[in-house]
Chains A and B, each alone.
Chain A
Amino acid sequence: AQKITQTQPGMFVQEKEAVTLDCTYDTSDQSYGLFWYKQPSSGEMIFLIYQGSYDEQNATEGRYSLNFQKARKSANLVISASQLGDSAMYFCAMREQSGGYQKVTFGIGTKLQVIP
């Protein structure tokens, strides 16, 4: 099974609207972390938001929030009030701790395009 699944290759959203990018994950670890990164066309990976497996509250960072549903193993990213500068690739990632070592797995990404 894929560790991280992002089922939306591409998404469109109208400027100022909210958009949800889906991410499901697969792990048998009890302790893990979930991340979202943004990668503009320029190529740099920009950290957006983090959710720990034991965190009871959904993470929020400005216009970004993470809809964490542990039982469903989903960690969807919600971007509110979309801006043109939000157009980019978005990657969901999971960090697991196994036998004292870390494993980090990224999904294949979702391309978001914000329409004026």
Chain B
Amino acid sequence: DTGVSQDPRHKITKRGQNVTFRCDPISEHNRLYWYRQTLGQGPEFLTYFQNEAQLEKSRLLSDRFSAERPKGSFSTLEIQRTEQGDSAMYLCASSHVSDYSNQPQHFGDGTRLSIL
């Protein structure tokens, strides 16, 4: 069990550029979640997948955001035409679905995005 892995750890980019983050969940976990966390706040839910299906998206996920999990394993989160307000920590988490009620989400270390 190598834990949830996120890449990159840090991303600095200019406003208007596109960025893509990757998340590799714990291998036997079939649920994968994306969150955004800004300074002084708790994580805010963005979206989640069960296997390759994207089951729910938050209203926070504007048209500039897209997430995929094509083979039900790793996931990518892309932000197009980045804006200053996108600066945040993007967290990925995974869990096992067989007994959702008591399986915690295991988080990665996050990708910190800074928009110049």
Contact = CB atoms under 8 A, between A and B. Distances in A.
Q: Which 9 A-B pairs have the closest CB atoms?
A: A106-B42, A45-B107, A47-B104, A101-B56, A106-B43, A91-B42, A44-B109, A108-B42, A104-B45
Interface in B62-116: 89, 91, 93, 100-102, 104-110, 112
Interface in A34-79: 35, 37, 42-47, 50, 52
Interface residues of A, number: 26
Contact of A45 (B48, B56, B91, B101): B91
A50 B48 CA distance: 20
A74 B67 CA distance: 34
A43 B109 contact: yes
Given A45-B43, A45-B93, A109-B42, A104 B109 contact: no
Residue in B35, B44, B56 whose Cβ sees the most chain A Cβ within 10 Å: B56
Contacts of B35: 106
A106 B110 contact: no
A44 B41 contact: no
Interface string A74-116: 0000000000000000010101010001111111110000000
15 contacts: A33-B102, A35-B104, A35-B105, A37-B107, A43-B89, A44-B108, A46-B107, A102-B31, A102-B48, A104-B33, A104-B48, A104-B105, A106-B35, A108-B41, A109-B41
Interface in B4-63: 31, 33, 35, 40-45, 48, 55-56
A27 interface: no
Contact of B101 (A4, A31, A46, A104): A31
Contacts of B100: 95, 97, 102
